[in-house]
Structure 1
Amino acid sequence: MTQVEGMPREFYFSRVAYTGYGRGFYSRGSSWSTDYPKADQIFLSFIDRLLSNLDAYEREHPVQLIDPEIRRFPYLYALEVGRMALTQPEIEGLHDYLMAGGFLVIDDFWGSREWANFEYQMQLVLPGYPIVDLPLEH
């Protein structure tokens, strides 16, 4: 999944393609693929217009947590993580990525049940590192 065309770029908007258990009764596919690839393409068009001096990869870019090349992409975007069900290799891949300084943005989950699942998954990834609220002045 991490194959990219041409020369390496400064920035890749890399969406995490993780193991999950679907998007609910009325949906098909994995949670990670919600609005994919259209949302990524729209976001990248804004990046291109607003940050014209940034050499950004202009296409959608899904990455698997088990990919040995994942550290090439310091910014990861994951959404619908309330239905995430990481495999052991994915847990290890995300752990190593984050401990090496990788940056993970989490987006879009609903209610206490999905939060509890996300918190559980992150405890598997980073045992001993609880999720904490940051004050606004942080």
Structure 2
Amino acid sequence: MKSYTFLMILFSVFFVHAQEVAVLKYKGGGDWYSNPTALPNLVKFCNDNIDTNINERTQTVEVGSIDIYQFPFLHMTGHGNVFFSEDDADNLRKYLLSGGFLHIDDNYGMEPYITKELKKVFPNKELIEMPSNHPIFNVAYEFPNGLPKIHEHDGKAPKAMGLFHEGRLILLFTFESDLGDGWEDQEVHNDPENVREKALRMGANIIKYAFEN
């Protein structure tokens, strides 16, 4: 209990400083480092368009490190396996319950692994599909149909799933959408500008919602 109180105090101290975001590094062999230009591009888009003041030098932080408390917003992505140790799961749970926010964007193939590992973090919580009228879909830009489709893989509809604690959205898992690919430099995937704009706008909604709630 004392360690949890200490982490809450630590998080509140870091939170009053400049807005910061980071990529979450995890074990298991999955490519946590995929889409290297995605988060920096999203940060720049947010600073230019929705009046955020986020440090544009995005950093990487390990899931089991106390350093995650420096960042009110964490972004996680990849294609493959994810593994959380008990210490990793415990650290991430405390971070999220202390006021942090995690966005997990499946870069294709991550879903079966991350859903299993999230049960280590919150054994008694279930991912809930986000309704299209949730504020995260209209806090800065309007998405009346919910999560947009950016890249096609299996012909399935995009889904946004959330974990909640005491009514607060603490974790957003997006899959069959590939938002991060849409945030990357244009030449990486050669997406049309309107597709990249759609992805960046949805990302800006996630950032804005995370910082304001």
- TM-score, normalised by the number of residues in structure 1: 0.73
Aligned-partner Cα distance in 1 for 2:111–2:43:
28
The structural deviation recorded for 1:82 is 4.4
Give SS of 1:69's match: helix
Aligned-partner Cα distance in 2 for 1:43–1:137:
23
Residue 134 of structure 1 aligns with which residue?
Answer: 130
Residue 42 of structure 1 aligns with which residue?
Answer: 41
Aligned-partner Cα distance in 1 for 2:127–2:105:
15
Within a 5 Å distance, the mapping from 1:1-138 to structure 2 comes to 9-22=17-30, 31-36=31-36, 38-51=37-50, 53-80=51-78, 82-110=80-108, 114-138=110-134
The structural deviation recorded for 1:21 is 1.3
Aligned-partner Cα distance in 2 for 1:127–1:47:
34
Number of residues of Structure 1 aligned to a counterpart in Structure 2: 119
Aligned-partner Cα distance in 1 for 2:127–2:85:
21
Once structures 1 and 2 are overlaid, which stretch shifts more, 41-50 or 98-107? 41-50
The structural deviation recorded for 1:81 is 6.4
The structural deviation recorded for 1:90 is 1.3
Contact 2:29 2:80 (8 Å CA) reproduced: no
Give SS of 1:33's match: coil
Unaligned runs of 5+ in 2: 1-15, 135-213
Once structures 1 and 2 are overlaid, which stretch shifts more, 53-62 or 41-50? 41-50
Aligned-partner Cα distance in 2 for 1:135–1:70:
29
Change (3 A) 1:93 1:117: same
Aligned-partner Cα distance in 2 for 1:42–1:124:
32
**In proportion to residue count, which structure has more strand?**
2
Change (3 A) 1:133 1:82: farther
**In proportion to residue count, which structure has more helix?**
2
Aligned-partner Cα distance in 2 for 1:20–1:98:
21
Aligned-partner Cα distance in 2 for 1:68–1:81:
25
Unaligned runs of 5+ in 1: 1-7, 23-30
Change (3 A) 1:54 1:109: closer
Contact 1:9 1:56 (8 Å CA) reproduced: no
The structural deviation recorded for 1:45 is 2.7
Identity over aligned residues, as a percent?
24
Question: After TM superposition, where is structure 1 displaced by more than 3 Å over at least 4 residues in a row?
Answer: none
